[in-house]
Amino acid sequence: MSLLRGNGHEEMRGALPLPLRVLRRGSHLLALHLFVRRATTREDAVRMFGLSLRVPPTVFHPRLYGTSRFLGEHLRGRDLRSADVLEIGCGSGLLAFLAAQGGARVTAIDINPRAVACTEDNARANGLDERVSVIESDLFERLPPGRTFDHIIWNPPFYRAEQSDHASRAWNAGISYEVISRFAASAGPYLRPSGTIILVTSSDAGQEEIYSLLGREGFTPAFRLQRRGLFETLSIVEFTRGGTS
């Protein structure tokens, strides 16, 4: 068992007992077949945090799992006035919009062209298109040279599985967490000296690997918030370059 220390808190992580792991796996498969696959093949409309969102097929649905709501609640509690914020993997735009409502200037990127169009449409529908700009990009690939941000926020794909299409890119990070590795190796030049990377992670998949990959690139983690459930614990972790936060 390991500890992630920061801001006076300790996050304890350990493997679930075998019966709970089996139950968790079964519930995950049930949810996958009954809800997730169906939701990724049809257009849906949802309302979250007072925002009206259209979610087309292949775009990450913010209500399927608790990570979007958890990170969204955290962003709503932060002072983002005049901050420059980058959201990686914007999906339907929920987190970008919450940051914009908090006063930030937001650049939202996604590799899925349907997600880019979706975020643009949802920004207009919610009156936030002047505060949110959207770019189709594989991570930082198409950002303007020299562009830097106060905060980079990401609800990352953290399942250890191959990415086979746009829908799977919202969930799977590659067999060896290639997406997380590429992000960690590339993020530095886009982050201002006092800037932070804000991630939500799950004890159900890959926390240690994610922290380790960022640590190898000189980023120091600090635990901010935790939500314990029956089968998993969600954590919001902020990374800064060097030192402690």
> Does the pLDDT of residue 88 top 90, yes or no?
yes
Q: CA 162, 37, 35: angle at the middle one, nearest 5?
A: 130
For residue 245, give Cα distances in angstroms to 54, 55, 124, 184, 224: 37, 36, 36, 18, 10
Q: Give the pLDDT mean for 137-152.
A: 96
Q: What is 183-203 written as a DSSP string?
A: HHHHSGGGEEEEEEEEEEEET
Give the pLDDT band (50/70/90) at residue 12.
Answer: very low
- Assign residue 139 a region (left: φ > 0; alpha: ψ between -120 and 50; beta: otherwise): left
CATH architecture of 2-241: 3-Layer(aba) Sandwich (3.40)
Instruction: Say if CB 101 and CB 205 are below 8 A apart.
Output: no
pLDDT band at 23 (very low <50, low <70, confident <90, very high): low
- A 10 A CB-CB count for 143 gives 18
Percent of the chain at pLDDT above 90? 62
Give the integer Cα–Cα distance in Å for 175 and 54.
31
Mean confidence (pLDDT) of the chain = 84
Greatest Cα pair distance in the chain: 50
| C-alpha to C-alpha distance for 79 and 90, rounded to whole angstroms | 20
Q: Domain spans of the chain?
A: 2-241
Q: What is the 3-state secondary structure (H, E, C) of 140-162?
A: CCCCCCCCCEEEEEECCCCECCC
